[in-house]
């Protein structure tokens, strides 16, 4: 008969039966939550030092605990830590190893602490660090886009609506649109820090502790602003993770839109750009193929990020207060989205930095007189014609050109008068590409002066953002060492 019993549960004497091996496998999380190891050790060191300062743990034991935890961190960094799936999670693995290293003193570490507030604290530390790293990746990608935009200030291409040629724009203006989108993504990730400012440690399982813990001390030691205001909220809430997943999902959608354009623009039908060989792949059958697999994968991975957000929203939506084991399902979506975003930012920056632009092909596509039809209508508006009347007149003019297969610019003032008597000049005089671009000099416009000013503004903003991130990362490093 097969013995279906497993080892004794590691957290006390309440249970008389051993855990079924199938349950051990089903509930184990150490294969993914080991990503929290460094944050768990940091939180445990801060907790141990607080216990020493309050007199709850003797100073010698605190020194042993801190030394043992630092040894464990080194073992994990070297890939030598003996992970045991039967111990469920990273927290119990660390605690068990600590017992092997320092003996009975290890049993003091969990004084005044539950895995509930421990996990919530670890996750908050992870989210703060990961959000900062994601913002660094966003700065680097936007700097690449800024460099390419500066290089192509005078490159003109059609702007599109409904994937139909609409009006001419500068390529710099086009790429700066993505800089703006990604900047808002960075802001969202930065805003998250305000919702991760309270330290859950000290909340216990849900109701706090009867012991004289100094939660302010622990919070300061871990870089939080203050202890959590409500112990039940501290262990039950995952809105920080939800906000992170939402910010990543939106960012991945923006990256997907940029990737979609790289896919389309690199097709023979467009021929606007060519991806570098280092960011392309070939076909297993067709030797002539150069496939845009990198942007295609970025586009596809956006679905993972959206799905991860929906996963955690669904997990949390029906949970009563406070902690429920369902919340173990918060980590894999968070870890996956963090990794996905990091990798997509890196390869997108590489692809954009090495992209070859066919400026002549873009210019030819933009040099279509129909793209200036709105300018023709606005010429009538300047003559006092109501816009709807002008729109109708130009629409009939365009229909005539399409029917007769003639270029709109070829129409004389007399030809135009057949559609409206107020046209002030020949179409060729009214429809000039460069003049059209330069006329759009208002805020957010595509004139050379407006785009140049936007480039300068973005450059200054990115420099300031990078400097602020340097300080934030330095503070994180100090906190990790404390």
CATH number of domain containing 100:
1.10.275.10
Q: What is the pTM of this model?
A: 0.92
Give yes or no: residues 139 and 66 share one domain: no
pLDDT digits (tens, 9 = 90+) for 142-153: 999 999 999 999
**What pLDDT is attached to residue 344?**
98
Residues ≥6 apart with Cβ < 8 Å to 474: none
Indicate if 162 belongs to the active site: yes
**What pLDDT is attached to residue 4?**
39
Under DSSP, the state recorded for 211 is S
Q: Find the mean pLDDT for residues 309-328.
A: 96
**What pLDDT is attached to residue 7?**
47
Give yes or no: residues 99 and 155 share one domain: no
Query: Which is more confidently placed, 284 or 279?
Result: 279
286/302 Cα distance (integer angstroms): 28
pLDDT digits (tens, 9 = 90+) for 240-270: 999 999 999 999 999 999 999 999 999 999 9
| Nearest to 129, CA basis, from 220, 222, 221, 45 | 222
44/38 Cα distance (integer angstroms): 10
Q: CB of 478 within 8 A of CB of 223?
A: no
CATH of the domain at 327: 1.20.200.10
Last residue of a domain, one of 63, 92, 108: 108
Give yes or no: residues 212 and 130 share one domain: yes
Give yes or no: residues 59 and 153 share one domain: no
Give yes or no: residues 360 and 374 share one domain: no
Q: Is residue 3 part of a domain?
A: no
Give yes or no: residues 283 and 414 share one domain: no
Give yes or no: residues 210 and 151 share one domain: yes
3/27 Cα distance (integer angstroms): 19
- Residue 3 — pLDDT band, cuts 50, 70, 90? very low
pLDDT digits (tens, 9 = 90+) for 449-462: 999 999 999 999 99
Give yes or no: residues 345 and 361 share one domain: yes
Last residue of a domain, one of 108, 133, 152: 108
pLDDT digits (tens, 9 = 90+) for 347-356: 999 999 999 9
Q: Which of 162, 256, 337, 436 is catalytic?
A: 162
59/99 Cα distance (integer angstroms): 17
Give yes or no: residues 342 and 292 share one domain: yes
Which single residue is written with the structure tokens 């340097």? 470
Q: CB of 229 within 8 A of CB of 198?
A: yes
Q: Find the mean pLDDT for residues 21-25.
A: 82
pLDDT digits (tens, 9 = 90+) for 366-394: 999 999 999 999 999 999 999 999 999 99
Q: Which of 67, 74, 283, 482 is catalytic?
A: 283
- Residue 168 — pLDDT band, cuts 50, 70, 90? very high
CATH of the domain at 398: 1.10.40.30
Q: Is residue 417 part of a domain?
A: yes
- Residue 12 — pLDDT band, cuts 50, 70, 90? low
Q: Is residue 96 part of a domain?
A: yes
Q: CB of 135 within 8 A of CB of 471?
A: no
89/464 Cα distance (integer angstroms): 40
234/92 Cα distance (integer angstroms): 21
Last residue of a domain, one of 42, 76, 108: 108
pLDDT higher than 60, residue 138: yes
424/341 Cα distance (integer angstroms): 54
- What percentage of the chain reaches a pLDDT higher than 70? 96
pLDDT higher than 70, residue 447: yes
Domain, as residue range, for 195? 115-365+455-469
């Amino acid at each position: 008969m097969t013995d279906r019993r497993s080892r004794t549960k590691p957290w006390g004497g309440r249970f008389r039966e051993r855990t079924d091996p199938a349950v051990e496998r089903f509930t184990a999380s150490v294969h993914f939550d080991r990503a929290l190891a460094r944050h768990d050790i940091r939180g445990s060191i801060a907790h141990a030092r607080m216990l020493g300062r309050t007199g709850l743990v003797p100073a010698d034991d605190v020194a042993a605990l801190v030394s043992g935890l630092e040894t464990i961190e080194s073992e994990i960094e070297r890939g030598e830590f003996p992970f045991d799936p039967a111990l469920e999670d990273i927290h119990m693995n660390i605690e068990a190893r600590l017992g092997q290293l320092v003996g009975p003193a290890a049993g003091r570490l969990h004084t005044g602490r539950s895995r509930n507030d421990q996990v919530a604290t670890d996750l908050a530390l992870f989210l703060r660090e990961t959000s900062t790293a994601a913002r660094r990746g966003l700065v680097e990608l936007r700097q690449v886009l800024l460099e390419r935009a500066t290089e192509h200030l005078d490159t003109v291409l059609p702007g599109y609506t409904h994937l139909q040629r609409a009006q001419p724009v500068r390529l710099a203006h086009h790429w700066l649109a993505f800089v703006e989108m990604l900047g808002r993504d960075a802001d969202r990730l930065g805003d998250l820090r305000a919702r991760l400012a309270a330290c859950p440690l000290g909340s216990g399982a849900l109701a706090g502790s009867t012991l004289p813990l100094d939660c302010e001390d622990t919070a300061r030691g871990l870089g939080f602003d203050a202890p959590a205001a409500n112990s039940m909220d501290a262990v039950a809430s995952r809105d920080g993770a939800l906000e992170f997943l939402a910010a990543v999902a939106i960012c991945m959608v923006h990256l997907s839109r940029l990737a979609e354009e790289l896919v389309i623009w690199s097709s023979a039908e467009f021929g606007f750009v060519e991806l570098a060989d280092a960011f392309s792949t070939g076909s297993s059958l067709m030797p002539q193929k150069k496939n845009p697999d990198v942007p295609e994968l970025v586009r596809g991975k956006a679905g993972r990020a959206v799905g991860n957000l929906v996963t955690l929203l669904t997990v949390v939506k029906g949970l009563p207060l406070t902690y429920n084991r369902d919340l173990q399902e918060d980590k894999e979506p968070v870890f996956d989205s963090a990794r996905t975003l990091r990798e997509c930012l890196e390869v997108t920056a590489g692809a954009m930095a090495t992209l070859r632009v066919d400026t002549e092909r873009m210019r030819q596509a933009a040099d279509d007189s129909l793209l200036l039809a709105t300018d023709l209508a606005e010429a009538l508006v300047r003559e006092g014609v109501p816009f709807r009347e002008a729109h109708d007149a130009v629409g009939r003019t365009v229909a005539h050109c399409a029917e007769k297969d003639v270029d709109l610019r070829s129409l004389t003032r007399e030809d135009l008068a057949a559609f409206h008597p107020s046209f002030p000049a020949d179409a060729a005089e009214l429809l000039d590409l460069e003049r059209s671009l330069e006329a759009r000099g208002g805020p957010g416009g595509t004139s050379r002066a407006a785009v140049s000013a936007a480039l300068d503004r973005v450059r200054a903003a990115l420099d300031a953002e990078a400097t602020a991130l340097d300080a934030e990362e330095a503070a994180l490093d100090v906190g990790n060492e404390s």
